[in-house]
Amino acid sequence: MHIMLRLEERQLNESEISLLMSAIKQITSIFYIKKSMWSAYKYVYVIMKESEFIGVCVVVPFKNWKKIGPIIILNEFRDQGFGRKVFKEVIKRNRKSNLFLGSSNPKIHNIIKDFGCEYTSSFFKIPKEGKYYILKHLFKTMSWNFILEFFQKLPKRIQSEYKYFYKYGKNVN
């Protein structure tokens, strides 16, 4: 049976934001994201299975790059191939852009490397625009909730390596 996924480019509504904030508490590779940040994201791919919300993939433009993520599939829909399908579609829709993503999630690592992305574990080896984005983003997202969640999830995160992925777009240097 073929399950039809739909990507809607739109802002998130309040109930979707609440579902995502609850889901993040269970995901060791993502830390607390303020409600105001979810509301402020402008380029959001809302993942729908028929009429049901199942997740999100955010794309954040900066300089001549686009940062992909966070990518979140709600717990009850994980391990069904939805993340791979969504990532493939997001790459396709943004193929002319330079793309950047960072993750400690081994599932994301496996999906991304199938799309011809270069990667490194060293912050110092990523393109300078990626470094700039990460530092700016950390200052913007830093809060007590973020710090608390970071230390709560740290023992589980130590087991997986953080990797930075980047892909230069077609028609872009």
Residues 99-139 pLDDT 10s: 999 888 888 888 887 888 888 888 888 888 888 888 888 77
Closest CA to 11 of 20, 22, 24, 2: 20
- Does 22 fall in a domain? yes
Entry field: residues in the chain? 173
d(CA 112, CA 109): 5
pTM for the structure as a whole:
0.81
Reduce the DSSP state of residue 169 to 3 states and report it: coil
Q: Give residue 21's identity as a one-letter amino acid code.
A: M
Q: Which domain holds residue 28?
A: 5-167
- Does 172 fall in a domain? no
d(CA 156, CA 172): 38
Domain count, the chain: 1
Residues 94 and 166 sit within 8 Å (Cβ to Cβ): no
- Does 33 fall in a domain? yes
DSSP code per residue over 22-55: HHHTT-TT-----HHHHHH-SSEEEEEETTEEEE
- Does 173 fall in a domain? no
Closest CA to 25 of 148, 158, 171, 162: 148
When pLDDT is cut at 50, 70 and 90, the band that residue 32 belongs to is low
CATH for 42? 3.40.630.30
- Does 140 fall in a domain? yes
- Does 13 fall in a domain? yes
